[in-house]
Structure 1
Amino acid sequence: MDLRDYLRILRRNWILVVAMSLAGLAVGGGVSIAAKPTYTAETQLFVAIQSSGSVQELQQGNTFSQARVQSYVKTVATPVVLQPAIDALGLDITPKELSKRVKTSSDLNTVLISIEVSDSSPVQAAAIAQAISSSLVNAVDTLERPKAGGTSPISLSVISPAVAPASPSAPNTKLNLALGFLIGLVAGLGIAALRTLLDTRIKSEVDLRAVTNEPLLGGIAFEADAEKKPLLTQAAFQSPRAESFRQLRTNLQFANVAGHAKSFVVTSSLPGEGKSTTAINLAIALAEAGQSVCLIDADLRRPMVAEYLGLERSAGLTTALVGSADVNDLLQPWGANDLYVLASGQIPPNPSELLGSDDMKVLIERLESVFDTLIIDAPPLLPVTDAAVLSQHAGGVVVVVGAQKTRTQDLTKSLAALQLVEANILGVVLNRLPTKGPDAYAYSYTNYESHRPTDETTPMRGSKVFPTALVNGHDSPQSSASSTAPEHESNRSSVR
């Protein structure tokens, strides 16, 4: 992973990282508010040798006192020092409990002893520190006094009396806030990295490239109203989504630069990735470019093309395959351009056998002889084998990948199934991509506030007349198809 990958992870999970950082900041503030204030009072003592000898004797005495200082530091935490202080102040506490609130230290190569006492009361902290220093002076004098009698050679003096502190030493609010923020930030980054590592969904071209090197034919921008208005003719003319399908149309032509393939199977790994709407809108985009297009609904398990376009579904592909009617009588014209739709027909009990039959191969060859392009909407690859079987009759296959939905292992299995039957995989289409953010694919530089006209009788800039059945939901699909039939009949030869 390079720097761009880390930045992409951060951009994908910035809300999580910010939320965790703020949560850590809030916890740090809460701890500071909930904690009881603690005050610390300090006193210092000086250790000296009671001698008036020569300079050499004084030097030896100083070395002796420095060696003894560390022993006095340890002595502070003992009952010999603490019990007299407790008795002097009348504290209801044991020496062991008091020792936990006392901190004694001494700097190296000095004869100074520092005693710090923490308490919830600043006055009490100063009083305990002063009492302990006085008790230490007395304890050292008793311990160092010769057994034969006389005075102690060591003298301890208080050089810095304890004073009641004006502000608490704990909690340290600034430190708690800083630590809370830092811990929250690190936790957020860790969770973001773990989340990215465990998330196998394909979100962008970078994720796609980790799975396959198949050409990326295009990325379809996702718009909020795409579910309510799925067709290209319903989108703003220069919207990112509309431009995405035009780009897909162009890239498909380049992928088929030799011109041998006239029929294209559009499929996906799993249901719900948008293969049907992609097939429909690709057919519309090709028809808008002046090609004669036949859109075939070969998803004989969950046919959706006729429903999206407001056409009759009861007679169509299966009707032609079983010989109940000729394909010329089953093709339904749609829109203002040279676009014809062959609906699915009745759902059969044996879809795979029908799609893999010689009759299906002959039908595709007949349609290829009349139309410039055939777009075939096929079932998903993983649940059933229909698309793999159908790909053997078509010139090429386009695999639709739903961003944020398809997982890497699913796409790997789908491509392997197509390669197993030696299908001609033309490329991959990333669907439902965001228009902004780290995974954005489409970029718009024009103003597309003006939408296509909603009046069916006034097409604009080559857009197709939208069927009344789909717009209003009142007229029958048959009336929509028949209303545009005369407009196409002069432009299409019969399928022989």
Structure 2
Amino acid sequence: MNLRHVLSAIRAHWWMPLLGVLLATGSAFAITQLQTPLYTSSTQLFVSTTAATSSADAFQGGQFSQQRAASYARLAAGEELAGRVVGRLGLDLSPGAVASEITATALPGTVLIDVGVTDESPERAQAIAEAVGAEFPALVRELETPSTGGDPLVRITVTDVPEIPQSPSSPNRDQNLALGVLVGALLGALAAVARRQLDRSVKDPGEAAALAGVPVIGTVLRDHALERAHIAERTGPGRAAEDFRLLRTNLQFLSVDEPPRVIMVTSAVPSEGKTTAVVNLALALTEVGRSVIVLEADLRRPKVTRYLGMVGGVGLTNVLAGTADLDEVVQSYGDGSLSVIGAGPTPPNPGELLASAGMASLLDKLRAAYDYVLVDAPPLLPVADAVGLSVLVDGVVLSVRYGSTRKEQFRQAAVTLQRVGARTLGVVLNIVPPKAGTARARYAYGYGGDTPPA
């Protein structure tokens, strides 16, 4: 997965990083509020030698002090000194507990020791730091005084008097919240990428084309009005209407010398938008003066006549059964430029009926009478009805629903058509969210008021 795929996954699932930030920041805030505030008071000690009568002695004494400072830092944080501090202040704490509150660090290349005392009480932190400054020189003096008597070799001087801290040193609320934002965004982004990787639905046009072995010839963006009415508004340059006009144009130029005229539209599984695509493609073809007839060949769940508000009692099955003539079942829609043949009564053997010689003869008659014959066929995987029909038409258009159709299902449908020798013309990617990368690329300049939201 490259950077483009990562950014695409984050853009598609933008709410996951946002949710991660909210949860992690909220957790960091809650943890910060539950933690006991700690206060740190600091002091600084200066290590020097007591015998320096010349510059050479001073130099050697400085080196000696630096070497001693590292040892004194450990001594300052030990229990011996802590016990003296407890006795000096009368604390109700053990020497070990006090020693755990003291940190001492020898600054490299210097003779300075930084001492910090962290406690729940700012006043006690300052008192312990002050007691360290008073007791530690005495402890060093005892250790450095020669057994034979005389002055100690090293002297400790307090150079920075401890003060009562005004704000807690821990927890650091701003740092914790910033860390929460960073961790939450990172985890959310990883979750978005993982979801994209685990998502087995068809979303990318290039991937859809690779699975089907044919190009994507149309992309239809999600339109709530189209989902309700199933017929795109055609009076203006609406987004849905433009999608089907572009599909019409691509379909007309698939093969200039021998353009397909009898076209079956199907899908892998139900609810992929195939019937809506058939109806609106037919209307888009009539806009440019083409004579079009729609054949409702989904005999189990017919929807064309319902979407167009027509009578569905008689139709294709009556013609194939010989109980009605073709002229008796053809209905006109709108101004008469679009003709429709409904499904008719549901037969007991839809698959055999659609693959029959009578169906082939009917398609030949319609091919001679109309510029385009659009066949709304059943989905390929649940039933075998559309498989036999696919070899009788000039070409098949596969409808796939963005983010719903599984890759395995779509690939199986494409292979099924290849196996019987059907000609697959292309893929229509349906119900694409306006914020999807495909939609943004196509509608970068927008169509009137239908520009996808940023």
Shift of 1:255: 1.3
Shift of 1:398: 0.7
Secondary structure in 1 matching 2:229? coil
| Residue pairs, 1:303-318, within 5 angstroms | 303-318=302-317
1:123 to 1:239, Cα distance in 2 relative to 1, 3 A: same
Tell me the equivalent position of 1:337: 336
Tell me the equivalent position of 1:229: 229
- Partner amino acid for 1:85? V
Shift of 1:103: 0.8
**What is the TM-score normalised by the length of structure 1?**
0.83
Distance 1:297 1:209 in 2: 27
1:106 and 2:106 correspond: yes
Distance 1:427 1:29 in 2: 54
| Residue pairs, 1:2-21, within 5 angstroms | 4-21=4-21
Tell me the equivalent position of 1:399: 398
Shift of 1:368: 1.6
Distance 1:317 1:381 in 2: 20
Distance 1:197 1:444 in 2: 30
1:51 to 1:389, Cα distance in 2 relative to 1, 3 A: same
Tell me the equivalent position of 2:238: 239
Shift of 1:152: 2.7
Distance 1:78 1:119 in 2: 17
Shift of 1:425: 1.0
Shift of 1:354: 1.6
| Residue pairs, 1:118-197, within 5 angstroms | 118-197=118-197
Distance 2:26 2:18 in 1: 12
Distance 2:200 2:98 in 1: 57
On the 8 A contact 1:267/1:378 being kept in 2, the answer is yes
Secondary structure in 1 matching 2:425? strand
Residues 188-229 of structure 1 show CA distances to partners (whole Å, capped at 9, x for unaligned) of 222222122222323343443453452222222322222221
Distance 2:43 2:344 in 1: 97
On the 8 A contact 2:203/2:403 being kept in 1, the answer is yes
Shift of 1:273: 0.8
| Residue pairs, 1:345-424, within 5 angstroms | 345-424=344-423
1:4 to 1:213, Cα distance in 2 relative to 1, 3 A: farther
Tell me the equivalent position of 1:97: 97
Shift of 1:377: 0.6
Shift of 1:346: 1.8
Residues 334-382 of structure 1 show CA distances to partners (whole Å, capped at 9, x for unaligned) of 2213322221122222222222222221221222222222111111112
Shift of 1:81: 0.7
Distance 1:181 1:340 in 2: 60
On the 8 A contact 1:41/1:126 being kept in 2, the answer is yes
Distance 1:197 1:23 in 2: 23
Tell me the equivalent position of 2:271: 272
Distance 1:286 1:133 in 2: 94
1:217 and 2:217 correspond: yes
Which structure is higher in helix share? 2
Shift of 1:41: 0.9
1:85 and 2:96 correspond: no
Shift of 1:86: 0.9
Residues 407-464 of structure 1 show CA distances to partners (whole Å, capped at 9, x for unaligned) of 322221111111111211111111112345533145643469xxxxxxxxxxxxxxxx
On the 8 A contact 1:47/1:65 being kept in 2, the answer is yes
Seq. identity, %: 38
- Partner amino acid for 1:48? S
Tell me the equivalent position of 1:250: 249
Secondary structure in 2 matching 1:369? helix
Residues 216-251 of structure 1 show CA distances to partners (whole Å, capped at 9, x for unaligned) of 22222322222221124x554321111222222222
Residues 270-306 of structure 1 show CA distances to partners (whole Å, capped at 9, x for unaligned) of 1111101111222222233322222111112211122
Tell me the equivalent position of 1:208: 208
Distance 2:434 2:74 in 1: 69
Secondary structure in 2 matching 1:423? coil
The alignment of Structure 1 onto Structure 2 pairs a total of residues equal to 447
Tell me the equivalent position of 2:447: 445
- Partner amino acid for 1:158? V
Deviates more, 1:149-158 or 1:23-32: 23-32
Distance 1:111 1:134 in 2: 18
On the 8 A contact 1:82/1:135 being kept in 2, the answer is no
| Unaligned stretches of 5+ residues in structure 1 | 449-496
On the 8 A contact 2:268/2:410 being kept in 1, the answer is yes
- Partner amino acid for 2:153? P
Deviates more, 1:213-222 or 1:117-126: 213-222
Structure 1 stretches (4+) deviating beyond 6 angstroms?
none
Distance 1:249 1:275 in 2: 15
| Unaligned stretches of 5+ residues in structure 2 | none
